[in-house]
Amino acid sequence: MEPRQLHYFKAIAEEEHFGRASARLRIAQPALSRQMKLLEAELGVELFERLPRGIRLTTAGHVFLAHCRELSALMTRAVAETRAAATGSIGFLKVGFIEAAAWQGVVPDSIRHFRRDFPAVELSLSAMSSTRQLQAIRDGDIDAGFLYNHGADPDLVAVPLARHPVVLALPTGHRLTEQPQIALADLRDEAFVGFHRQASSRYYDDLAQAFAKGGFEPRVIQELDSEPDMLALVNAGVGLAFVNACQRWRQPPGMSFHAVADLEVELELSLVRRADNTTPTLQHLLSIVSEVSRNS
């Protein structure tokens, strides 16, 4: 059975006449009749009742016509969706993001714009640390990630978006909250909660170098997996914490955030992808992110 035979059959059924169908299809009537006989022979049924002045569908013919119309609609949709997928108008996109940067700024704005402009793309968003995102990008588990301090990797491409400073989180009522300027020397007697190096090795090392440059060694009494965990312990009075200034965007209760005058550490936020990932949906996201970043 050939697709053209189904097309021929549908035209004959709609015209109820071989001659009119032949003219519509622009093929000779004998050739059209021969194709229908071959189709009936393959199906093992009669599709038409041949009348003196036209044809009439048999019961089997009516059933077959309904399926032919379904197939025609399916093929039309398949062609349209295939073309849309090639242009990135539909499809799938898996994106990671760092939670701290998703409250305000380029990350939520880019996601909002993408969902507005490409509603037919299935956008899957996963919150994870920068380290986990990098591994997921390399493994192909996500297409791209909004993350910090990606480091050098020839297999990855990064679009720089913003730089966020590191600030000091203090619990309400701490002696330094009213001090107009805080320096590392003011923190020598304080206890701190920090994060495990494996959570973000480059960030961890950048902080360590900045502390060494300032002649400061924080007394870390506990290391945790994430900044929200650290802030929970700051609120509980366990210790102070150095955190991303983006934490101000959600302003957890029971604490305040302060710049440290001689601590020059910034977190570079980028959209990172594999160099060989050039899918159309990802290209659309890259364009939107670049535009949002320029206008921020």
251, burial (CB in 10 Å: exposed 0-12, middle 13-18, buried 19+): exposed
pLDDT of residue 217: 94
Tokens (6 digits) for 111: 């996601």
Residues of the chain with CATH 3.40.190.290: 163-267
CB 182, CB 258: distance < 8 Å: yes
185, burial (CB in 10 Å: exposed 0-12, middle 13-18, buried 19+): exposed
CA 129, 249, 269, 132: dihedral to nearest 10 degrees? 10
> What is residue 178's three-state secondary structure?
coil
pLDDT of residue 233: 95
CATH topology of domain 3-87: Arc Repressor Mutant, subunit A (1.10.10)
**β-strand 266-274 against 156-171: which pairing, if any?**
antiparallel
pLDDT of residue 153: 85
pLDDT of residue 199: 81
Q: What is the mean pLDDT of each run of 10 residues along the chain (296 residues)?
A: 89 91 92 92 92 89 93 86 77 93 92 94 93 93 92 88 95 92 95 90 91 94 92 94 92 89 93 93 94 86
Residues of the chain with CATH 3.40.190.10: 91-161+268-295
Angle in degrees, CA 108, 97, 196, rounded to 5: 135
Q: What are phi and psi of 264, to 5 degrees?
A: -110, 80
pLDDT of residue 3: 86
Q: What are phi and psi of 243, to 5 degrees?
A: -140, 165
Per-residue CA distances from 43 to 4, 35, 65, 149, 170 (Å)? 15, 12, 13, 65, 80
pLDDT of residue 43: 93
Nearest of 141, 168, 137 to residue 270 by alpha carbon: 137
What homologous superfamily does CATH list for 91-161+268-295? Periplasmic binding protein-like II (3.40.190.10)
Nearest of 258, 265, 266 to residue 186 by alpha carbon: 258
Question: Which of the 8 DSSP states describes residue 90?
Answer: S
The H or E element spanning position 158 is: strand 156-171
Nearest of 55, 78, 77, 75 to residue 9 by alpha carbon: 55
Angle in degrees, CA 51, 56, 60, rounded to 5: 130
CB 231, CB 243: distance < 8 Å: yes
Residues of the chain with CATH 1.10.10.10: 3-87
Supply the pTM of this predicted model. Answer: 0.74
CATH topology of domain 163-267: D-Maltodextrin-Binding Protein; domain 2 (3.40.190)
